[in-house]
Structures are given as C-alpha cells and as structure tokens.
Chain A
Amino acid sequence: MKILIPGVAGGIARKVARRLADQGHEVIGIDARPWPSPPKTVEVHRVDVRKRAAEDIFRRRRPDVVIHMATVSALAAFGEERHRINLGSTQAVFEHSQQYGVKQVVFVGRHTFYGAAPDAPLYHTEGEPPRALEAYPELADLVAADLFAATALWRFPKMRTAILRVCYTLGAPGSGTLVSFLRGKRVPTVLGYDPLFHFMHEDDVVQAILLTVEKRLNGVFNVAGPQPVPLSDIIRHTGRTPVPLPEIVLRQLLGRFGFPRLPPGALTHLKYPIVIDASAFQRETGFTWEHDEIQTLEIFRDAAPVR
C-alpha cells in the first residue's frame, strides 16, 4: 500500500514510517520539521501539510492510507500558533484525503482529550465528552481537532476514519509530554495529590497504529496497554526525586528556575487522573502490548538516567 504520514518527523511517527517501510509499504512522509537522515525506503518531503506543496503530494502520489500525526501538544508550541497547526493541519489532511481518494485516514490523538477532573470516571470510554476544558483551556485545540476529525465519519462515509486517543508514551527514552516532564532529576508534583498516570511503551503504540491500518479500523478508539501507575511511583522508579509543592507555589514556578514551561491548567493533570478504557481497541484489533508498565519505566530509566 501507499501510505502518507503527515508529521513524520515526530518520534513515534518516524518509527511508524520505518516499520511500514520494512513491511514493504511505500511510505511518504511530510513534515515542516526536519528529519535529517531518514531511511532510504521512506520518501520525506519537508513541507508544511497546510501548504500548497503538500496538496501536490496528495495529488501526485494518491496514497491509500494517511496517518495524521501532525498535531502538537502544549509543550511544543504556544498559543495561536499551536491552534493553527493543530486545526489547520487536520482540516487540510481530511480535505485532501477526501479529494484524492484516500481509503483510510488514521488520526493519532491523545487521551488528554477527556480532561482531568475529580468527579470524572476513572476509566474513560469513547462515548464520553471532553471534560474540564475550563480548567485547561490550552487543550481546546487538540480537543477540537479530535472532534473535528471524527466528523469525517459522517461527512465522508466512503472513507474509513480511525480516531485514536493514545495514552502517554515512554521509550528509550522516547519523546512526548511525559518524557519531557520526567527530563530532570527533580520532578515537581502538586502537594497532596498523586494521580494515576496511564502510559505505554512507544513501540507498543507503533504496533497499535500498524494494527489500525492492517485491520482498516473505522471509529473512535482509546489506545492503552498495561495498567496505570501513580505519578509518585513513576518518578521514583525512574530514579527521579519527586518535589511536592503547594499548588499556589508551583503555579508561580512554572517556566522558571528549570521548572517545565507548562500552562497553569496542566496542573490539573498532576492532581487528577486521566485513565482510559482501551478494551474496544483491543477487541477490534487483537492488540496486546509487549512491555508492561514496570518494564516500560525500567527501559526509560536506563535510557534516560539522571546525572
């Protein structure tokens, strides 16, 4: 099959591209960010998916499947720019896919869609609305991109659309929100709170995305592997030191003195859990994970030791 990956320069996207190419698929990647030395089997175009040149690639190459990984989280871009990237790219991907006869689009989204709130169910299912957006307005664009992507299910019924809401990921060391959060020796937490964090190994996410393509999945699916773990255990078992600070203090320190630059709303994610029920995905695809929660943390710890 011919598979196009917008956002191919991201950590997990690169792995997906390699694996698909190894399986014998023709893989084309698009990204505004560089991927300095991609494997010869992956054709990479350094272009913004929202630009004319990206549409040309859709038209010329006519991919069968598009795996949309060109969204960014609050850690990677700020404010208006992130809104434009996330919504603009999602709109462009679906418009071009519809126009140029793509058979399946996979939108790789995030489990933070559901939001963190004290009165939310612990295991979120796909039928739930996003919550607690007022506490964390910076998530609005990702939530909107997810919901917008899902409109393809009724707007373009001939095309298959899979919306994946993937939990946090760690690798060796991997990339993404949780990896950035655990970067330092000392990891800030909110005093008096210790939420469950749901994460899985990057390679298992890659496998889940491959299965989504292989099984031609259609619909909205949570993607997770092993059980969640309290944040304090994650910090301790990766050799870091938790630094519990009162919320008021932590709010002032964000982005200063080496503390992660997080929007204040992100603190709700350090207070309340976001845990997902991924049984529907497992049922539909037969997905099983290779790395349990303990191995995943050990792999991350060994790859990203603290100095």
Chain B
Amino acid sequence: MARDDSVKELVDRLEIPFNAWGVDPFGVSKRHLVIGFRILAALYRHYFRVQCYGIEHVPRRGRVMLVGNHSGGIALDGAMILASTLLEMDPPRLAQGMVEKFMARLPISAPWSAKIGQVVGLPEHAQRLLEADRMLMVFPEGARGTAKLYKERYSLVDFGTGFMRLALQTRTPIVPVAAVGTSDAIPTVFNLEGPIAHLLQVPYLPVTPWGLPLPLPAKITLHYGEPMYFEGNGREEDDVVHRYVDEVKKRIAALIDEGRALRGGRR
C-alpha cells in the first residue's frame, strides 16, 4: 500500500483542539488518526469502492449527530462513514462513534479505539462530545443491528431512544445516513454465541459462508439525508420521543430504499 500523504494533510486540517503533541482532551491522537485513516482510506477507495451521496447535508461545523443503520456482522458501516467524513468533507470532520463496552476492555482495541476518537457508548460521553461541538456517530440499533443476518440486511431492528433525548437536550441536528452493501461484504449466515464468543470476550461471532467474518470486496454506498431538527428538552414523554425516533427511522429506511434503487434491480 502506497503511503497516502493526503490523509496526513486531512488529519492536520481537522478542527479539533489538539495540544502541541497532537492529543486532544478526549485522548484522540493525530498520529493514530493518520495510521488508522490510511488503512480506512485504502479500504474506502480501493476495496469497497465506496460511493458517497449527500455528504453536503452534513454541517461543516458545530455539534451534529450522524444516525445510521447497522448490518453486516461487524461495524463496517461505521468504519466507512468514519472514512467518508474525513475524505469527502471540506473541511474534513472526525465522526466519533460510540463503541461497545467490550472494545474498551480488550487490549489493543481499548487504546486504539480511544485514540481514533471512538469512545465507549455512554450517555455521558455523547453529551460531553456534543457540548464540545463534535460530530457524533450513532447506531441506535446497537449490537442487535450488526447481528442482523444476510436475509434481514435491509430491515431495521428497534431503535433505542437515548440518542433522541440527547439530541433534544443538547439541541443537536440529526443527519440520517444509510449504508448499503455492507451485508454483501459480510453476509452473516448465523451468529455464533456461547463459549467461543465468550472466550473471545465478544457478544457474538458472525459466521459467513466461508467461516470467518472477513469482508468480500463488495461495493458499498453511503447515503446522507438532510439534517432533521427536533424541538424539545429531552424530558418529553416516551410516546413523543418514540414518534420522533420513528421519523428518523423512516428517513433512514427511505435512504436505504434510494440506495437500493440506485444500485439497480433487487439490491
């Protein structure tokens, strides 16, 4: 893989308050971002040949929440969204995801996820990042989303409501985003739970027709929608919040449909 100096330039242009050593108050490290994004950029451009639509809907500055769908065993969708906001936006932005707790417990994964801005999925973290005017990346389906099987790939499981209350409380616009094709890269036929997953300290292990969850070079497309603004304070009744969440969910479902239509035929 050729060294990609454009990635370093993009990382240098991130509007994040790094100290003189390139570390921000949350422990995000420029040095690690460059290494991580070189790999992601290569996957994004050459392996999955990602096509990104509607990136202009993502605000260039200020707090924002990217809310997306999960599918395809591991969070490939998250990784490609992460790559897209750095590679396609001007100025580039860092999407900060909310990772599963097990990732913060395991060696190597713990420091790396933190240093590339992916923090443990706690409401406190989300709120703090938004108050610092960062860009949050949220998958309200959680691990149940990545655990979808291939045949369920375009469906959406239940959305959590935490993200909506937080958006209301912090007055954060929500940008819906759909990732299409990640299930073609990792078509899960079933999920291995029990002792092996337990031994690896992961919630489940996706199994593909070829066994391991190693992705095929399937084409992935990303579809960003217009920002959605909701009025409130985050202390609304459940049915109000559920209604708002459903609006976001419908919007993402529509973006998935648009994506499938663009890809032509039954996909």
Report A's interface with B, CB cutoff 8 A. 118-119, 121-123, 190-196, 227-230, 233, 237, 271-273, 292-294
Is B108's CB under 8 angstroms from A233's CB? no
The answer, yes or no, to whether B21 is at the interface (CB within 8 Å) is yes
- Greatest chain B CB density within 10 A among A190, A194, A233, A272 is at A194
B122-156 contact mask (Cβ, 8 Å, vs A): 1 or 0: 10110010000000000000000000000000000
Assuming the contacts A228-B25, A230-B29, asked whether A118 and B128 have C-beta atoms less than 8 A apart, the reply is no
- Name the B residues within 8 Å of A121 (CB-CB): 122, 124-125, 128
List B residues 19-76 near A (Cβ within 8 Å): 19-21, 23-27, 29
Q: What residue in chain A is nearest B22 (Cβ atoms)?
A: A233
B110 with A118: CB separation less than 8 A:
yes
Distance in Å from the Cβ of B121 to the closest Cβ of chain A?
Answer: 9
Residues A230 and B25 in contact, CB atoms below 8 Å apart = no
Give 21 CB contacts A-B under 8 Å: A118-B101, A118-B110, A118-B120, A119-B122, A121-B128, A122-B26, A122-B27, A122-B119, A122-B128, A193-B111, A195-B111, A196-B114, A228-B25, A230-B23, A230-B29, A230-B111, A233-B21, A237-B21, A272-B110, A292-B19, A294-B20
Is B107 in contact with A233, judged by CB distance below 8 angstroms? Answer: no
B263 in the interface (beta carbon within 8 A): no
Q: Given A227-B25, A273-B27, are A119 and B104 neighbors across the interface (CB < 8 Å)?
A: yes
- Taking CB atoms and an 8 Å cut-off, the chain B residues in 83-138 that contact chain A are 101, 104-108, 110-111, 114-115, 119-120, 122, 124-125, 128
Q: How distant is A148 from chain B, measured CB to nearest CB, in Å?
A: 26
Q: Do residues B27 and A119 form an inter-chain contact, with CB atoms below 8 A?
A: no
A273 — nearest CB in chain B belongs to which residue? B27
Q: Is the CB of B111 within 8 A of A123?
A: no
Contact A271 B26 (CB under 8 A): no
B residues 183-223 in Cβ contact with A at 8 Å? none
Which chain A residues border B107 with CB–CB below 8 Å? 190-193
The distance from the CB of B120 to the nearest CB of chain A, in whole angstroms, is 6
| Contact status of A230 and B101, CB under 8 A, knowing A122-B119, A193-B111 | no
> In the assembly, what is the distance between CA of A272 and CA of B26, in Å?
13
| A237: nearest chain-B partner, CB-CB | B21
Whole-angstrom distance from the CB of B34 to the nearest CB of chain A? 16
- Which of B21, B26, B120 has a CB less than 8 Å from the CB of A119? B120
Residues of B within 8 A of A195 (CB): 111
Query: Nearest residue in A to B105 (C-beta to C-beta)?
Result: A118
Contacts of B24 in A (CB 8 A): 227
With contacts defined as CB atoms under 8 Å apart, how many contacts are there between chain A and chain B in the complex? 64
Quick check: B120 and A230 within 8 Å, CB to CB? no
Query: Which A residues touch B19, using CB under 8 A?
Result: 227, 229, 292-294
Set of chain A residues within 8 Å of B105, measured between Cβ atoms: 118-119
Other than the given A123-B128, A192-B106, 20 more pairs (CB < 8 A) read: A118-B104, A118-B120, A121-B125, A121-B128, A122-B26, A190-B107, A191-B107, A192-B110, A194-B111, A195-B111, A196-B27, A227-B24, A228-B25, A229-B19, A229-B23, A237-B21, A271-B110, A272-B110, A273-B27, A293-B19
Which A residue's beta carbon lies closest to that of B20?
A: A294
A196→B107 CA distance, assembly (Å): 15
Residues of B bordering A, CB below 8 Å: 19-21, 23-27, 29, 101, 104-108, 110-111, 114-115, 119-120, 122, 124-125, 128
Chain A residues whose C-beta falls within 8 Å of the C-beta of B128 in the assembled complex: 121-123
| Structural contact, A229 and B21, CB atoms closer than 8 A | yes
Given the interface pairs A121-B125, A122-B26, the reply to whether A230 lies near B110 with Cβ below 8 Å is no
**Given A118-B120, A191-B107, does the pair A230, B26 have CB atoms closer than 8 Å?**
no
Q: With A and B bound together, what is the CA distance between A223 and B21 in angstroms?
A: 23
Residues of A near B21 (CB, < 8 A) are 229, 233, 237, 294
Which B residues are CB-close (under 8 A) to A228?
25, 27
Distance in Å: Cβ of B99 to nearest Cβ of chain A: 11
Q: Write out the residue numbers on chain B whose beta carbons fall within 8 Å of the beta carbon of A192.
A: 106-108, 110-111
Cα distance, A170 to B24, chains bound together (Å): 20
Q: Which residues of A contact B119 (CB under 8 A)?
A: 122
In the complex, the answer to whether A119 meets B25 with C-beta atoms within 8 Å is no
Closest 3 CB pairs of A and B: A192-B107, A121-B124, A118-B105
Cβ-defined contact, B23 with A122, below 8 A: no
Q: Is the CB of A119 within 8 A of B110?
A: no
Give every chain B residue within 8 A of A272 (Cβ-Cβ): 104, 110
- Residues in A whose Cβ lies below 8 Å from that of B29: 230
In contact, B27 and A230 (Cβ under 8 angstroms): yes
A295 → B minimal CB distance (Å): 10
Residues of A within 8 A of B104 (CB): 118-119, 272
CA distance A192 to B105 in the complex (A): 10
Given the known inter-chain contacts A119-B104, A123-B128, please indicate yes or no for A193 contacting B110, CB distance below 8 A: yes
Chain B residues with Cβ under 8 A from A123's Cβ? 124, 128
Per the bound structure, the CA–CA distance linking A70 and B114 in Å amounts to 36
Distance, CA A194 to CA B31, complexed state (A): 14
**Known contacts A118-B101, A118-B120, A121-B125: A227-B111 contact under CB 8 Å:** no
